[in-house]
Chains A and B, each alone.
Chain A
């Protein structure tokens, strides 16, 4: 899967670029590098990467601006490198069009997991089938049916809408506002308590252990993420 996939790393710290480059190369990705926003935008046009890893603190331009500019040209997945305690910044970059974020400092395992999730989502987005599958969970968008271990789950309409929206963006972080706008409409974009109540209910139905959720992950201060799990080996 990794072969022939090109990743653009945009960060002004040589040390960060160095370890990202070697790790990603070891995973079989082709790696391009840029130090500034200007060179990143140039590389984006020239090399057509399949994924961009973007540091928000670039010397020449504001990271959010860069995301928006990239989005005018391309739908390439963007993973943002953010700093601790900056939930507002994370939300802003996701709302600007980033696909995911990862907080510095981070382990390379964590990053690779995000990279894979983002790439997989891109593939799904290119040709989403009528059925979403993650672990034991399957959703048939045409039938509007949700099954866990083959068992039909009874969901309310809102629960279903919520789950479907998350499934359509599976693996990505979805901010509270994005979810609320999509499911309840623009008028309710700040009613986070709706989400809290529905996510709780969904977990009760989806998860084996709601206190250790496998599918529906909370991203503190930012939003939720529906994880894509491998199909059960059984």
Chain B
């Protein structure tokens, strides 16, 4: 065999990617070996235990997950020396049933686990519906599994077995399980030997054995089953060989591009058609799919029939084929179109069960198909009708099983006919109309449009009778005198029936298209609605509401949050999930498959959980339930739900992504601020330190040789730079306090003039080169502010003004009140602020003159101002002066912060009452405004 790596790319002998992928996928998970037998009692379990013991001797950690000995002594003996895991009790309808403890196996993590009867159906309430799913999970954990299987359980052979043995096996195993098994060992025993073992009582008790031999274990049956088992195993060998050849790029005589489509309908034989398609496809190594052509008739189908279609499609998927539904008008034509477009080579279709009469009227689909199919092979199969499974009967919704007969259409139709007669009869008496039958035709048309086919046929009939009775001589009898009238009456009936059919069909189409249009409109409305939603909770609520409204379901939406799944929305509102539901939701989320009610996994949950999926992955799960028993969703509803879910999933992802982007932006911004802070600390704080250290060391080294003036200068530098450093540290502290939210304003009534004066006093040292002018109105109220924090804001604003305005210019602090606000301004005569930066200057670390700083600062001063003013309930902004260059910083405090005037007035009254000497005007006009001298020294 050539090494795949040595083969050159030109020769085309490259390994098929799929085959390689399948091989690599298998490497991570545990291997599955199936011991396949034709019937119970051939010794599968025995062989499996032998093989397990052999492995154990090789040093593999082997445990028994579950083995049924059926009381057989030889088998029991073999269990000696093997670790048997205790089973788990599952409560079901007051009974305790023991099932394999899958969690114990996963926790124990052996090298190999032995699991009997792969096709077993678990007790409801177990995690998985079927044992093979347990095995899949065990294998996914990297644990090897040995298991046993009887051939009759294989899904695709189900009806063949039923034909041969007349026993329909309920416990079936999807074919893909055996396809994907790594090894199959056929445990073969000739029918004669098996029957002998049976008679010896080695398999069942003697009595049971007798019955078994008469029924299932007849020699003929066993021979057939044995043949099937051997064939299936041989086919497996064949597939393995093909896989191997493909994986190693060996040219082979592959079946060339066969593709099969099996056409299904609501007939019960559809399931067997699907299985047949699968077997055919297996033989031909072909891809295959089941196709349902949805015509207007779909609307007339009962729920049970629709369920059968859905089940057949599901079965096809189960068996590894595709499942397709397309809308169609003409079955044969659309089927051939589809087949041609998809390179289908064979069409499988069921034999028609319609009467010859019906086919003459409607034409036969099969004949039509044969005529049109060209070079596509058409297999017409007499599918076997399966008895409806009891489960289906239970699940069928109550309203369809007993579809009550509705009299109303017939009653109304009768009234319409009577009306036609009532109008027609006097009219006819008066003017003798030749075509009075048209009136009755109108009644038929009405009935057909309004109520459909059967009522209109009924109307046709009674119209004919009424016409005959009232208008055809002899009148008021049902006999007809004139033979030509018999013909006329006959034609009337024919026309009425055709009209009925035509009108009924139009009505069906109209209903169907209206229903489609309604769903489409609803979907469109939904997509428009959610497109505009930017908030996750709103979106989820809208989705839940939409589904609840359109499909009459209870909905919960479960999304991951803080590392666990949480109910984020529900309609009707729901906050918590029961344990079973949470388990199902978690399963659906981790496995990306449906779980819960009606699903294969955890069917004990109250809700069905469906994964919400986008191309990028899962975004959450949706749980649905309804109060009524029975299946949650009709196939049509399921499609609608899928469409809504897809849209919702995309919208959820959109919001998640937007959140991620915001998050990324925040991270980036944080990063920028952090680096700015580092720059600020490392650079701006070091600058004054450099001056201080430089000056101090100069003084120490050369202090003696410096003259007095130089020494003074250096000392002044040290002091000023240290003070600057102190302000920087103060700013960083304030910013930290502000950001940590630790700053709580200590409010007390503040006299603004007092506060402004105090702030200018502490800023006096900074104002050595500027004129400060205070212009403070006299009617300012006391404001509830933090005196110190407000002072800090003013200090920073004055500091800022002094930093940017040229020497010997004026800095004005003005305070005024108007109807709504108290307004404090700090106005300078500097260069002003670039208009685009008016808002950004309040950002942390923003500086207008990035590069050439005239005076170093931390870029925090204004950010602190804004933080503090916001904290105190005010507002601060910057603008440029209009009268000249210069910046104006405006602080607005709403009047609501003012201390109640009445209280102050009371104080004033008290004052006059207590006046010791004659009252005098309290305020001297000359003191209204005054310029503060800029010298900052304390004592005169």
Spell out A's residues near B (CB within 8 Å): 84-85, 87-88, 105, 107, 110, 113, 154-160, 176, 192-194, 196-197, 199-201, 204, 209-214, 218, 220-221, 229
Contact = CB atoms under 8 A, between A and B. Distances in A.
A169 to B, nearest CB: 19
B910 A200 contact: no
14 contacts: A85-B734, A87-B788, A156-B914, A192-B748, A193-B749, A197-B904, A199-B751, A200-B753, A200-B754, A201-B922, A204-B923, A210-B753, A211-B776, A211-B932
Nearest to A161: B914
Contacts of A85: 730, 733-734, 737, 788
A212 B764 CA distance: 12
Contact of A220 (B722, B730, B787, B914): B787
Nearest to A192: B748
Nearest to A196: B751
Contacts of B750: 196
B788 A221 contact: yes
Contacts of B923: 204
A113 B746 contact: no
A12 B762 CA distance: 28
B899 interface: yes
B914 A209 contact: no
Query: What are the 5 closest A-B residue pairs judged by CB atoms, nearest first?
Result: A193-B749, A221-B788, A154-B917, A157-B914, A196-B751
Contacts of B782: 193, 196-197
Contact of B940 (A156, A176, A214): A214
A86 to B, nearest CB: 10
Given A158-B911, A211-B776, A221 B754 contact: no
A209 B930 contact: yes
Contacts, number: 103
Contacts of A158: 910-911, 914
Interface in B734-778: 734, 737, 746, 748-751, 753-755, 757-759, 762, 774, 776
B918 interface: yes
B749 A196 contact: yes
B704 interface: no
A194 B908 CA distance: 10
A176 B750 CA distance: 12
A211 B733 contact: no
B907 interface: yes
A112 B513 CA distance: 97
A200 B734 contact: no
B924 interface: yes
A230 to B, nearest CB: 8
Given A193-B903, A199-B751, A204-B922, A221 B757 contact: no
A4 B749 CA distance: 45
A193 B757 contact: no
B520 interface: no
Interface in B280-323: none
B452 interface: no
A105 B722 contact: yes
B754 A196 contact: yes
B757 A213 contact: yes
B927 interface: yes
B754 A199 contact: yes
Nearest to A213: B757
B757 A156 contact: no
A143 B762 CA distance: 37
Contacts of B754: 196, 199-200, 218
A218 B758 contact: yes
Given A84-B730, A84-B733, A194-B907, 15 more contacts: A154-B916, A154-B918, A192-B749, A193-B749, A193-B904, A193-B907, A197-B908, A199-B754, A204-B923, A209-B927, A211-B774, A212-B932, A220-B791, A221-B787, A229-B939
Contacts of A88: 746
Interface in B880-911: 899, 903-904, 907-908, 910-911
Contacts of B575: none
Contacts of A209: 927, 930, 932
B864 to A, nearest CB: 12
A105 B726 contact: yes
Contacts of A220: 755, 758-759, 762, 787-788, 791
Given A154-B918, A212-B757, A220-B758, A201 B911 contact: yes
A163 B900 CA distance: 26
Contact of A156 (B774, B904, B911): B911
B855 interface: no
A189 to B, nearest CB: 12
B927 A210 contact: yes
A88 B748 CA distance: 13
A221 B749 CA distance: 11
Contacts of B755: 218, 220
Interface in B919-937: 920, 922-924, 927, 930, 932-933
B938 interface: yes
Contact of A157 (B751, B904, B916): B916
B693 to A, nearest CB: 15
A36 B907 CA distance: 48
A221 B899 contact: no
B719 interface: yes
Contacts of A192: 748-749
A199 B930 CA distance: 18
B58 interface: no
Interface string B668-692: 0000000000000000000000000
A218 B746 contact: no
A193 B788 contact: no
